[in-house]
């Protein structure tokens, strides 16, 4: 997706994004995000870039664990929601409006010790080159934590989850938020992403050494931990 299109789409959905997230995941997203922050923050003061940060649902958790967090996103309105939440909860963060798909991205505060990228991969036309751009913002040995929706495997629970996700959810979420387009996009991009193995191979092809693959959400969500070698 073109970065201008992404910005307009997420700017328009910023106010309802968090509520829709809870609907999409039946409230399970809090666990996925907590897992991500725990993997990214191994000590207080670690410098974390939350890339494609949105409303800061992951970045603020990392900050609460003691990290020095920068949130980068192309949508100023998503970042404004994140900043409001940080101010309300007394958490200190830095926000940066940036197109992270542009070649040679720059984000003040780099090189980072860890980079989180949650629910941002599916939208990318060239995910490998975007990951390479993020690698250039990290220090050697940096931790990467990448989480996204994938097509589930064939287990009975996964099949049930897939019916909810692919058939029920787009109607439910668009009825509750009024933003049909975003949920159509969610389902279409998850199909395009394919199975977890594909996400893992994209991460590896960017030059990140994968150390852990963690399936969540009845197989619909894949979490990958890796290291910049």
Ligand X SMILES: C[S@@+](CC[C@H](N)C(=O)[O-])C[C@H]1O[C@@H](n2cnc3c(N)ncnc32)[C@H](O)[C@@H]1O
Residues that bind ligand X (CB under 6 A): 3, 6, 10, 52-54, 57-58, 73-75, 78, 99-101, 118-120, 123
Smallest separation (angstroms) from ligand X to the CB of 73: 4
Which residue, 129 or 154, has its beta carbon nearer to ligand X?
129
User: Between helices 180-193 and 169-177, what is the axis angle to 10°?
Assistant: 150
Q: Which is nearer to ligand X, 99 or 153 (CB)?
A: 99
Residues 6+ apart with CB under 8 A from 66: 41, 43, 44, 45, 46
- Nearest approach, Cβ of 187 to ligand X (angstroms)? 13
Sheet holding 47-51, edge to edge: 94-97, 68-73, 47-51, 112-118, 138-149, 221-228, 208-216
Structure token pair of residue 88? 């309300």
- Nearer Cβ to ligand X (89/155): 89
CA 59, CA 117: separation in Å to the nearest integer? 10
Which CB sits closer to ligand X, 37 or 161?
37
Query: What's the min distance (Å) between Cβ of 24 and ligand X?
Result: 10
Residue 168's SS3 state is helix
191 closest CA partner among 131, 151, 146: 151
The least CB distance from residue 185 to ligand X, in Å, is: 9
Closer to ligand X by Cβ: residue 118 or 200: 118
Distance of closest approach, residue 89 Cβ to ligand X, in angstroms: 16
* CB-closest chain residue to ligand X: 54
What distance in Å separates the CA atoms of residue 125 and residue 48, rounded to the nearest whole number? 25
């Amino acid at each position: 997706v073109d970065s201008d299109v992404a910005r307009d789409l997420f700017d328009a959905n910023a106010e309802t994004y968090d509520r829709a997230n809870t609907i999409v995941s039946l409230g399970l997203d809090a666990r996925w995000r907590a897992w991500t922050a725990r993997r990214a923050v191994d000590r207080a003061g670690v410098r974390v870039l939350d890339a494609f940060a949105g409303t800061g649902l992951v970045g603020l958790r990392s900050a609460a664990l003691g990290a020095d967090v920068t949130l980068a996103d192309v949508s100023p309105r998503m970042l404004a929601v994140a900043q409001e939440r940080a101010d309300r909860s007394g958490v200190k963060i830095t926000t940066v409006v940036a197109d992270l798909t542009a070649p040679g991205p720059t984000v003040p505060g780099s090189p980072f010790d860890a980079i989180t990228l949650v629910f941002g991969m599916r939208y990318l036309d060239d995910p490998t080159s975007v990951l390479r751009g993020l690698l250039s913002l990290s220090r050697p040995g940096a931790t990467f934590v990448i989480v996204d929706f994938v097509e589930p495997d064939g287990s009975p629970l996964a099949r049930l989850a897939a019916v909810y996700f692919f058939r029920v959810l787009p109607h439910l979420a668009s009825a509750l938020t009024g933003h049909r387009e975003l949920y159509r996009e969610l389902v279409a991009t998850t199909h395009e992403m394919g199975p977890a193995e594909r996400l893992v191979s994209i991460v590896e092809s960017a030059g990140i050494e994968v150390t852990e693959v963690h399936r969540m959400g009845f197989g619909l969500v894949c979490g990958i931990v890796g290291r910049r070698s």
